[in-house]
Structure formats: structure tokens, C-alpha cells
Amino acid sequence: MEGRPASWPSMTALDLEDLLEELRSRASEARARQDRLSGLLDAVVAISADLELSEVLGRIVEAACALAGSRYGALGVLSPHGEELAAFTTRGLSEEQRRAIDDRGARCRRGGHH
């Protein structure tokens, strides 16, 4: 064919549609990643605005849940000695579920079974 290099692949309309669909898919994935990163940035800004530990931890858990698409989450902060939790924050759990997790953690910290 005139005007095309000899190595130019011949494409059918179907090949072109496949390529366009792949481009659309990758663009959609890039937008989703950008939205997640924007959510993370919003969380960082919100976290840095609060100095109260419980509020900061709660916002971290909320941001992590949102970024992971999770219905619930928990975050434990170890004491300076690393033998017990200095703080334990949850989101999306009932009080009973939260206590069960916290009680299990206390047993593990005291040398109980997991």
C-alpha cells in the first residue's frame, strides 16, 4: 500500500474496536486510581487538621475503609512497650463485635491463644 511503511500492521475495523475498548478500559482504571488517590489526599489533609488522637485514628480507619471498599475496619496502636494496645479504633462494627475483637486481643497480649 502506498504511503504506509512496509512494517505497518494491517488492521481490521474489529481490531480497531478492540484497541479502542482497551484504551477506554485503561482510562477508566486511571480515573478510578486518581479518585482513590484524591480520597487519600483528602484523608491526609483531614487527619492533619485534628490533633485529638481518637479523632485522627478514626479518620485513618474511615479513609482506609473507603480506599479498600471495606464495610468495616479496625486499627490498634501498641503501647510504647509493645505489649498492649494503647488505643483501639473501629468503624462499621457493632459494640459487641468490637468488644469481641478487643477481648481476643487482650487474651493474646496476656499470652493466651489466638
Distance of CA 45 to the CA centre of its chain: 16
pLDDT tens-place string over residues 66-94: 888 999 999 988 888 887 888 889 999 99
Which cell goes with 10?
494491517
pLDDT tens-place string over residues 15-63: 888 888 999 999 999 999 898 888 888 877 776 675 787 888 888 899 8
Host H or E run for residue 90: strand 85-91
pTM across the whole model? 0.51
- Choose among 93, 56, 55: nearest CA to 74: 93
Q: Give yes or no for a contact between 79 and 85, defined as CB atoms under 8 angstroms apart.
A: yes
